[in-house]
Structure 1
Amino acid sequence: MSPQKDATCVWCAKPMEPNARGRRRKYCSHACRQRAYEQRSGRQGQRLPVDAVVLSAQKASGLKDALFELRCAAEDIATAAQEGASSEELAALCDELVGLAKQIEQTR
């Protein structure tokens, strides 16, 4: 099995170098591993599932805004394609879409 190319830390979403051998790393540092442990152990006794994600209202609002921006970028590509935009214009719009998607992926 080959190492994963785009390995990111499960806690902070920072890109990591994949291991050449062995099990795939989940965390970029001991600090991130500790923060994840503290979050998991802090939920003990609560009714939240272990894999639940809790967002502050501010983070949820920011995520909603980012997804709206992503949808608008996708609609811009669809409109440009319907209007016969050049391949250079479409490529630039696609680059913007991919950049927005990567930003949203890094949300933590």
Structure 2
Amino acid sequence: MAESTRVGSPQTARSGNPCVWCGREVAVTGVGRRRRYCSQSCRQRAYEQRNAVKGTTIPADAVILTAVEAVELVDRMFEVRCAAEDVATAVAEGAESSELAQLCERLTELAREAERFR
């Protein structure tokens, strides 16, 4: 098996790494440590939050959401569940492969959106 396709190889482990702050995909540089943030802005926001919780009982790795952000996250998760149920229903009803592909594409799109916390 080639080095680049072996499971657990450095190249495979680095692909699709989400930003610790916003959840967007982080570009892979291929050299040095893995980047944790997709941009300097996300890195700065994370720094500000870590400093804001210093000296409190809130854990440094806590994700703090406003009430609006929490509601939006729950709404996105509901959309993902509904899309998954649509796929399951289409499979049970023997839908065409093109329809299933379209439903799976929508499910994947919604899941990516739901990964974003901010």
How would you bin the TM-score normalised by the shorter chain? 0.7 to 0.9
Do residues 34 (structure 1) and 44 (structure 2) align?
Answer: yes
Q: How does 1:41-80 map to 2 (within 5 A)?
A: 41-80=51-90
Distance in structure 2 (CA, Å) of the matches to 1:49 and 1:15: 25
Distance in structure 2 (CA, Å) of the matches to 1:83 and 1:92: 15
Q: Is this contact kept in 1: 2:26–2:36, CA < 8 A?
A: no
Provide structure 1 residue ranges, at least 5 long, that are not aligned to the other structure. none
Post-superposition shift, 1:24? 0.5
User: What does the per-residue CA deviation read over 1:16-50, in whole Å, with 9 as the maximum and x for residues that have no partner?
Assistant: 32122111011234343222111101101211112
How many equivalent pairs are there? 108
Runs of 4+ with deviation above 4 angstroms: none
RMSD: 1.7
Corresponding residue of 2:99: 89
Query: What amino acid does structure 1 have at the position aligned with 2:115?
Result: E
Do residues 99 (structure 1) and 109 (structure 2) align?
Answer: yes
Distance in structure 2 (CA, Å) of the matches to 1:63 and 1:29: 22
Provide structure 2 residue ranges, at least 5 long, that are not aligned to the other structure. 1-9
1:31/1:89 CA distance change after superposition, 3 Å: closer
TM-score (norm 2): 0.81
Distance in structure 2 (CA, Å) of the matches to 1:51 and 1:76: 35
TM-score (norm 1): 0.87
